[in-house]
A and B are shown apart, each in its own frame.
Chain A
């Protein structure tokens, strides 16, 4: 399946990646190439085949609902680009 530039722009917005206007044509061509290769799958009849999500057919292991972690927010926030009063700073969202 081929994709057009408008679709690439839409996907890029969904993925929150800015694509420079000068890059969009080449990116569209490369992604079309990948999707055409991937389309070999469509020739296979998979009716009734159960999808395999975990190679050991395992389901998510749950743990007891109790506190196991200590408070390490200072360590974790020490590597953040911007914090104030133990909060992460981002540009203003609401005027």
Chain B
């Protein structure tokens, strides 16, 4: 079958044209038949998925309705799922079966969504290529010799391949938007605090946000509607009403002011990507939007500031993996220090160790002011750039990534080169803003993402702008041949 969107499946379920059990079987079959080439799914929960699908069909038969009732989804393997192994792509948690659901997962389940399984990702979400996974790299369905992006690479590859109607991801520095761009799908990173972080295994707590990946903005609106909202159990959750994202999708864009940061169109941007993004912007102009050049003068400092703040927070968060309470424990520890140091040596991968060590250095006596405090000051300057820009524009747009998907192995030995691939996405996390990536064309038969950045809690405006673009273009309908 061709790949219908989540919204189309929702309508078919509502009309009784298909059951959740039929849809779930179809997706499970596809994963089984085709995922060997992509390695996008770490754990398939077939039996549980079919039970959930039956329950959803029973709820519908009893008169219940709802856009996600019976919709099969995949969850990034960093969201805790009760009774289902949650590995975070790490040997450390290869045996970890959490006793509870993440709030985002629980909300999707309550809305009737079916969990097909858990997707591959970079270890503890640290990476931009999905190559830092204990379970091996996920592959890009457009070219299986290339990376799908990361860290939510498995979620993006799986959605692009039609293994689920949608997927969850997390984004600490671009980890939803960048893989969405590289795999040719739509992804949304909400405002910091919009989606609960409870049960979303922590990487960098002041940056992490969960969000949806799906074929279209309309689909992302339906998923975000269920995921978003205040959670008293997350002390950084925003106490603020959730907008009705679907209600405003069709609003016209006449007079919308779109800021184009000149720093996002400079050296280092692939000319093919620039051409695709400029063509997308011309479509917005055709719909009545006004393009305004702006400046975000501290953009070049986002990568350095991020690679202090994120590792510092990671070094603190990952201190919990001590071989005592859950997860991996080394064999035959000689004493407590040996238990800690060997457990962590044996079960963390190379990139996670590097980041813990950089973070430990940045927070250690004598270096705190020069690194962590300095990075937080620069974070303020970066946020001020955005806030000043939003005084005069409604949205900001540019490329999601400087390059299309690169070859597996190409950057694994050069961490800094890998970090620079996130140059257009990191500052959005530092500022706590919502951002999206939508398909905007191809370069050398590889997908290109257009990034949309909104003011705090501007998700409805982002989804509206993305949806209107998708009504006028068909890039989001292109699917790779598997």
Task: Name A's B-contacting residues (CB within 8 A).
Answer: 3, 7-8, 11-20, 27, 30-31, 33-35, 37-42, 44, 46, 49-56, 58, 60-61, 63, 72, 75-76, 78-82, 88, 90-93
Number of A-B residue pairs, CB cutoff 8 Å, is 171
Q: List 27 A-B contacts (CB under 8 A).
A: A11-B364, A16-B319, A16-B341, A17-B357, A18-B342, A18-B344, A18-B345, A20-B345, A27-B354, A34-B415, A34-B416, A35-B358, A37-B303, A39-B304, A49-B377, A55-B192, A55-B206, A55-B207, A55-B383, A55-B431, A56-B193, A56-B238, A58-B236, A61-B235, A79-B95, A91-B336, A93-B336
Q: Counting CB contacts under 8 A, is B315 at the interface?
A: yes
Q: Counting CB contacts under 8 A, is B456 at the interface?
A: yes
Residues 289-310 of chain B, each 1 if its beta carbon lies under 8 Å from chain A, else 0: 0000000001011011101100
B336 near A37: Cβ-Cβ < 8 Å: no
Number of contacting residues on B, CB 8 A? 75
Please, which residues of chain B bring their CB within 8 A of the CB of A88? 324-325
B353 near A81: Cβ-Cβ < 8 Å: no
Whole-angstrom distance between the Cβ of A23 and the nearest chain B Cβ: 9
**The one of A46, A82, A91 that contacts B335, using a Cβ cutoff of 8 Å:** A91
B360 near A54: Cβ-Cβ < 8 Å: no
Task: List CB contacts (< 8 Å) of B235-268 with chain A.
Answer: 235-236, 238-239
B324 near A38: Cβ-Cβ < 8 Å: no
Please, which residues of chain B bring their CB within 8 A of the CB of A93? 335-336
Q: Counting CB contacts under 8 A, is B419 at the interface?
A: yes
Q: Counting CB contacts under 8 A, is B136 at the interface?
A: no
Using CB atoms, name the residue of chain A closest to B209: A55
A15 near B206: Cβ-Cβ < 8 Å: no
Q: Counting CB contacts under 8 A, is B99 at the interface?
A: yes
Using CB atoms, name the residue of chain B closest to A13: B341
Q: Counting CB contacts under 8 A, is B380 at the interface?
A: yes
Q: Counting CB contacts under 8 A, is B479 at the interface?
A: no
B416 near A49: Cβ-Cβ < 8 Å: no
Using CB atoms, name the residue of chain A closest to B372: A51
Q: Counting CB contacts under 8 A, is B378 at the interface?
A: yes
B378 near A63: Cβ-Cβ < 8 Å: no
A51 near B315: Cβ-Cβ < 8 Å: no
Task: List CB contacts (< 8 Å) of B369-383 with chain A.
Answer: 370-371, 373-381, 383
A72 near B99: Cβ-Cβ < 8 Å: yes
Q: Which 8 A-B pairs have the closest CB atoms?
A: A55-B432, A51-B376, A81-B329, A46-B377, A18-B345, A18-B341, A52-B380, A16-B340
